[in-house]
A and B are shown apart, each in its own frame.
Chain A
Amino acid sequence: MATLNSNVPSGPIAQKWEQYKFNTKLINPANKRKYKIIVVGAGLAGSSAAATLAELGYEVHNFVFHDSPRRAHSVAAQGGINAAKNYQNDGDSVRRLFYDTIKGGDFRAREANVHRLAEVSVNIIDQCVAQGVPFAREYGGLLDNRSFGGAQVSRTFYARGQTGQQLLLGAYSALAKMIGAGAVKSYTHAEMLDLVVVDGHAKGIIVRNLQTGEITRHNADAVVLATGGYGNVYNLSTYARGSNATAIWRAYKRGACFGNPCYTQIHPTCIPVSGDYQSKLTLMSESLRNDGRVWVPKKKEDCKKRPQDIPEEDRDYYLERMYSAFGNLAPRDIASRAAKMVCDEGRGIGETGLGVYLDFADAIQRLGESKVRERYGNLFAMYHEITNEDAYRTPMRIYPAVHYTMGGLWVDYNLMSNLPGLFVLGEANFSDHGANRLGASALMQGLSDGYFVLPATISGYLASQNPGKRPKTDHESFKEAEENVQNITKKLLNNKGKRTPASFHKQLGKIMWEYCGMARNKAGLEKGIKEIAALREEYWKNVNVLGGAGEWNQQLENAGRIADFLELGELMCRDALHREESCGGHFREEYQYTKDDPEVQQGLVNPGDVKRRDDAFAYVAAWEYAGSVDKAPILNKEPLVYEEVHMSTRSYK
């Protein structure tokens, strides 16, 4: 069994982080340059961490599989970034952001981490503005805010529909500055394929150069993974096609625990699937729900009619009906599930019946088309490009899609995994969002981890390490890890089966969406686990990878990633199966409110809402690799202790 110690400092919640920073060991400036840190990934978390660690004086090596550190999928986040600045004077505060995030995560996040996130949020905005991030401004020249799903205050800072891009470019520019200064060594087209663990500590990585196929060993005093989420297990998602779980999965197989793998976020406003060839689902920013109204026809038989032919009284604005306080701005998990519910009732629209309308007719009437164009013009254009439909004239068709994974490698308050020396940031870790993430919080967490948290916490670990005794790359563990990587490559290339890797990915995605998607149940999950195991077996018998190892080989890259998805998918199902409750994005059909529950009768929740079981499941499930894929993983539990907020029924009515 792994030892899980959350290392949360004692004391009142608002002082924990201050106190922690005071107590933690520091490294004197002259010694910092002796420490070498590997940062894998250059999204918001990775590039901000790499840049900041280099500014502090550490020797930083940064690895990305992309051709440039600026391509990571953080770039695609549209809506915005939260911060408790209270520039709008609408009653926001660090405490409110903290509370909203805890509640939004359905009381499944670690309190102290979330409070720290809310505290640091204000510094992020300062930092980004100083870097030149062109946030939206009011005519007076000061920063503008908007409201975002799951919040009743306007605390979201944004840069048109491209906030993630602008924040990433800010972090990238900080990284560029340090690369230019020689303080960060940047490796591109460099994919991490294994973690090297020496005497229980993470001390290096094995990397494949995607251009030449060369495998290299890299040692360090600490390894930081900021490699993003694993939603591509589902094949179809809003993730970039290259997003993968290989780095965290191979770290898992080296002993790092995987926290809450079943917590996935399904985003309510994506463009519906149009056909089997589809490679990617496109998100339409949640900000659209500020002015768009979600509806389906009240009657099944109206579903095939043109939306403009359905009179007002025959439309069901179901979010407004079910969640009157939040209406169309209900949190993502709730909005997604409601969409699924109405479609399951047969009231879904579009060719597939898997879609709902997002209608701007009211907003256009209220604000005028030009105002709507100003706010959402680029999104409407994008929608038009993809669907060939004009959303100014006819409502958008949307449907939920996999968008984010709250789960990830388990980390303590230091963002260090149970493997000492292995730090995990951003979406790759499990920490701050509990069972559901609120809109505009992912960017906040990535940057908080990278700019402010890790640079302060990593010194505590490094102070315990002697940089002079860093294991050399000829150490047995490096040799073994490199061989492991070579073996996987050889196995894939020598298999010479009949099916392409992509065909397996598609099939896995269908299994995952069917059994471990928006709604899950025991029988389905058990079936899913079996089917995935069988698919994995077939994979290693029948996959066919063309080309060689010593060249640019995209099929080989993918084949390795898909092999990992085939294992991770099973773990997700196992986690979902074991968690016999519903919470946030994890909806087990067996655990939902019915009309007989007192909470429904009191009007707190609707029938069909998620029903938590705090008595039995108020813990983080941290899964530990049992040494072989065929052995059941070991479940470790970190109990969630709420000192500050009371675990209550999550009501958005």
Chain B
Amino acid sequence: MKVKLKVWRQKDRNSPGEFKTYESPALNENMSFLEMLDVVNEELANKGEEPIAFDHDCREGICGTCSCVINGKPHGPHRGVATCQTYMRSFKDGDTIVVEPFRAKAFPIIKDLVVDRKALDRIQFAGGFISVRTGSAPDANSIPVPKENADLAMDAAQCIQCGACVAACKNASAMLFVAAKVSHLGLLPQGQPERYKRVKAMVAQMDAEGFGACTVTGSCEAVCPKEISLDFIARMNRDYAVALLKGDPKPISGGGAG
């Protein structure tokens, strides 16, 4: 099979970009989408043209690095997979495939299809953790966790931080990502002490990064490679409301000299 690629090319952050069209060489339908890009790139390089820059690493759908928007849909046509798990058998011979980078103000383009998703990390740095010093943990079985809570926490914890939710959302909202993090830790007993502090800190950082709000369109859930549910956004909304109602903690009173 052969396809025509309409790819976004952009030299760097500040240059304007444009679509360029390439004819692929003969392809095998068992190739992955990224392998198809490899093959196209080899051909470009052999012609002395600069290869298409695209992000990728593990190529098994778990590292969250790959990030293309394929025919208008982040991570391509299938549900529950990342771009790297998209195979050419999903396309027809002669198809034109439009490939674009994730688009959001919070994700500046580095080059071609590569975007900077550091904003998601900064949300994590703001509060996406349980403060536990190494060595201070009690025995692992001293805290029973109901299986359904552990399973639900795992559903949320599967997030691969690819940012497809942001890319898919018409508002470039990062709610599904933040909600997954907040829910994962908030569902577990270990996460309770910082539950409300965490949600406030992470939401504040999310807003500061310039992501949009949630209109509950559900497009994030539809493209999430881990099919993380919108239910978690509700959970975050609830936690945030409770956090606001609780207010900030009382400042530590001066106890005098010890």
Binds B, one of A92-100, A271-279, A408-416, A595-603: A271-279
Distance (whole angstroms) from the CB of A250 to the closest CB of chain B:
21
Q: Is the CB of A73 within 8 A of B58?
A: yes
Report if A132-B38 is in contact (Cβ < 8 Å); known contacts: A162-B158, A176-B128, A552-B114.
Answer: no
Contacts of B140 in A (CB 8 A): 85, 125-126, 128-130, 135, 143
Q: Is the CB of A502 within 8 A of B128?
A: no
Contacts of A515 in B (CB 8 A): none
Q: Is the CB of B188 within 8 A of A279?
A: no
B42 lies within 8 A of chain A by Cβ: yes
B58 and chain A: residue at smallest CB distance: A240
B118 lies within 8 A of chain A by Cβ: yes
Interface flags, A274-289, vs B, CB<8A=1, else 0: 1101111011000000
B6 lies within 8 A of chain A by Cβ: no
How many Å lie between the Cα of A546 and that of B157 in the bound state?
40
Report if A554-B141 is in contact (Cβ < 8 Å); known contacts: A141-B147, A176-B125.
Answer: no
Q: Is the CB of A130 within 8 A of B60?
A: no
Q: Is the CB of A554 within 8 A of B129?
A: no
Q: Is the CB of B80 within 8 A of A134?
A: no
Contacts of A523 in B (CB 8 A): none
Binds B, one of A8-16, A379-387, A625-633: A379-387
A503 and chain B: residue at smallest CB distance: B42
Interface flags, A32-56, vs B, CB<8A=1, else 0: 0000000000000000100110010
Distance (whole angstroms) from the CB of A221 to the closest CB of chain B:
20
How many Å lie between the Cα of A68 and that of B111 in the bound state?
17
Distance (whole angstroms) from the CB of B52 to the closest CB of chain A:
9
Contacts of B150 in A (CB 8 A): 134-137, 141
Q: Is the CB of A554 within 8 A of B51?
A: yes
A451 lies within 8 A of chain B by Cβ: yes
B31 and chain A: residue at smallest CB distance: A277
Q: Is the CB of B59 within 8 A of A240?
A: yes
Binds B, one of A165-173, A335-343, A635-643: A165-173
Interface flags, A138-164, vs B, CB<8A=1, else 0: 111111000000000000000110100
B134 lies within 8 A of chain A by Cβ: yes
Q: Which of A128, A160, A241 contacts B59 (CB 8 A)?
A: A241
How many Å lie between the Cα of A165 and that of B58 in the bound state?
12
How many Å lie between the Cα of A278 and that of B28 in the bound state?
10
Report if A385-B85 is in contact (Cβ < 8 Å); known contacts: A66-B57, A547-B50, A552-B110.
Answer: yes
How many Å lie between the Cα of A70 and that of B118 in the bound state?
11
Q: Is the CB of B28 within 8 A of A275?
A: yes
How many Å lie between the Cα of A455 and that of B133 in the bound state?
12
A368 lies within 8 A of chain B by Cβ: no
B87 lies within 8 A of chain A by Cβ: yes
Contacts of A129 in B (CB 8 A): 137, 140, 143, 190
Contacts of A140 in B (CB 8 A): 144
Q: Is the CB of B157 within 8 A of A169?
A: yes
Q: Is the CB of A279 within 8 A of B184?
A: no
Q: Is the CB of A382 within 8 A of B45?
A: no
User: Which residues of A487-507 have CB atoms within 8 Å of chain B's CB atoms?
Assistant: 500, 502-503
Best-surrounded residue of B38, B58, B158 (most CB of chain A within 10 A): B58
How many Å lie between the Cα of A366 and that of B31 in the bound state?
35
B156 and chain A: residue at smallest CB distance: A134
How many Å lie between the Cα of A128 and that of B161 in the bound state?
20
Interface flags, B116-139, vs A, CB<8A=1, else 0: 111011001111111111111111
Contacts of B173 in A (CB 8 A): none
Q: Is the CB of B132 within 8 A of A131?
A: yes
Interface flags, A71-109, vs B, CB<8A=1, else 0: 111011000000001010000000000000000000000
B191 lies within 8 A of chain A by Cβ: yes
Binds A, one of B61-69, B93-101, B207-215, B240-248: B61-69
Q: Is the CB of A71 within 8 A of B147?
A: no
Interface flags, A236-262, vs B, CB<8A=1, else 0: 001011100000000000000000000
B48 lies within 8 A of chain A by Cβ: yes
Q: Is the CB of A177 within 8 A of B129?
A: yes
Q: Which of A55, A136, A166 contacts B133 (CB 8 A)?
A: A55
Q: A-B pairs with the 10 shortest C-beta distances?
A: A141-B144, A130-B137, A173-B129, A180-B125, A126-B137, A134-B154, A129-B140, A280-B59, A177-B129, A134-B153
Q: List A residues at the B interface (Cβ < 8 Å).
A: 48, 51-52, 55, 66-73, 75-76, 85, 87, 123, 125-132, 134-143, 159-160, 162, 165-166, 169, 172-174, 176-177, 179-180, 186, 188, 211, 238, 240-242, 274-275, 277-280, 282-283, 381-382, 385-388, 451-452, 455, 500, 502-503, 544, 546-547, 551-552, 554-555
A–B pairs, 30, beta carbons within 8 Å: A70-B64, A71-B64, A76-B58, A76-B62, A87-B141, A126-B139, A128-B140, A129-B143, A130-B130, A130-B137, A130-B140, A134-B150, A135-B150, A136-B154, A137-B145, A137-B147, A137-B150, A139-B147, A141-B150, A143-B140, A177-B131, A188-B121, A240-B57, A240-B59, A280-B60, A282-B59, A388-B87, A452-B135, A502-B42, A551-B111
